Amino acid sequence: MQVPPKGLTTGEKTIFKKRVVVTGLGVVSPIGIGKDAFWQAILSGKCGIGPVTHFDASSYPCKLAAEVNDFEATDFFTPKSARRISRGTQFAIVSTQKALEDAQLDLSKEDPYRIGLSYGTALGPTDIYEKFGATFYERGLKRVNPFFLGMMNHNAMIGAMADAFDIRGYNTAISAGCSSGNVALANAYQIVSSGVADILITGGVDTPIYPLTFGLYSASHSMTNMNGDPKKVMCPYDKRRAGFILGEGSGTLILEEMEHAQKRKAKIYAEILGCALTNDADDSTVFSPEVRDMIKAYEIALSQSSLEPAEVDYISGHAHSSVILDKKETQVIKQVFGEHAYRLAVSSIKAMVGHSMAGGTAMQSVAACMALHEGIMPPTINYEVPDPECDLDYVPNQPRKKKIQTALVNSFGLGGTNVVIVFKKTE
């Protein structure tokens, strides 16, 4: 007898779900391009933060960033093609190509209408805005390139990706603040789970290291003004934390319906069991220091996954060295997991890759999948001075070998969007 797919029961109605797995991972990051380079850098505690080189930042309070300095667009695109897409679009296409290669997935053999895109970006093509905006204000309308219109919006990035890989099915650009990469992943999970598509390319990208964008973040005082040792300025959960360093990058995950992946004998990194989104926007801060709504996201995700809190082994944390938000994240974990909070492990990769918003949150999910697949938890580097209010096991400074079965990823940010995704190791 055929076993029906796992289902959700809502009242008297059962909604059957297809199982969804991760079969490919790709990254463009300040510490490496491609899954293998990224993962080895994570395990070695490599930090990609250094002096800003994209522009002259000498007059800015913060003069540091996590830049992708070994990326040459012409290594992947013709000069003409590279000029017609944003830096973020370049990153997204390259990380997607790396993920497809990792998945050993030949899209030409697939129905293009059963393949989709769900990709996140908090800020969109910032280089395009700044470049053409400056041209307009300095030199007038006649000097603005007409290609600007096709490059300026968030969905233009998704369109360029779809064109690059001949994807004709479901597609959407997700903009949900810093959590955009994982909101896009949660959306992709729902699309595959519901049977709309067999394969979803998902993840996130942001490239905010340009004068105006960098300046706006400086003015917000959310970035650290510490300009000492670049490798030490971000210290998630540590008592010395004083704000983040902006980064740039892209993370891509290939999601497949389980049977589709099994038929082609794909390598499976993890299964997604469930996810949840809530919002805690606040009039004064755009996100709230209150923990209620983030707790609810955890509770819904665990319930959707049919998991008890004690069954969770590891959390890939959002923490980006924020005085307030790192503490809030810790408080939430303690309230959701109770005494088990002190038995599970939590770590943040942000001190290595900087805070690249949608790109960074997608990289969290890449790291969580690798942790499950390899049985190694990434370290939280620069954790040296414990904070009594951040008192969990943050896997300090060194990776830890441990066979883990279940990993959670949490992301949150401006606009109040909280997202929690549950991954499970597959045998």
Cβ–Cβ < 8 Å for 26, 102: yes
Cβ–Cβ < 8 Å for 359, 184: no
Residue 178 annotated to the active site? yes
The radius of gyration of the chain's CA atoms, rounded to the nearest angstrom, is: 21
Q: Which of 233, 219, 207 is nearest to 61 (CA)?
A: 219
Q: How many CB atoms lie within 10 A of CB 166?
A: 11
Cβ–Cβ < 8 Å for 349, 317: no
- Name the catalytic one among 260, 318, 320, 373: 318
Q: How far apart are the first and last CA of the chain?
A: 23
- Name the catalytic one among 47, 62, 154, 178: 178
Q: Which of 318, 280, 325, 279 is nearest to 408 (CA)?
A: 318
Residue 355 annotated to the active site? yes
Task: List Cα–Cα distances, 380 to 312, 350, 361, 364, in angstroms.
Answer: 19, 8, 15, 12
Alpha helix stretches (DSSP H) within 311-400: 323-337, 350-353, 358-374
- Name the catalytic one among 154, 320, 355, 373: 355
Helix axes 211-219, 126-139, angle to 10 degrees: 110
Residues found in the chain: 427
The gap from C-alpha 16 to its chain's centroid, in whole angstroms, comes to: 28
Residue 154 annotated to the active site? no
Strand duo 406-411 + 314-316: pairing: parallel
DSSP secondary structure string, 48-62?
-EEE--SS--TTSS-
> Catalytic positions, please?
178, 318, 355
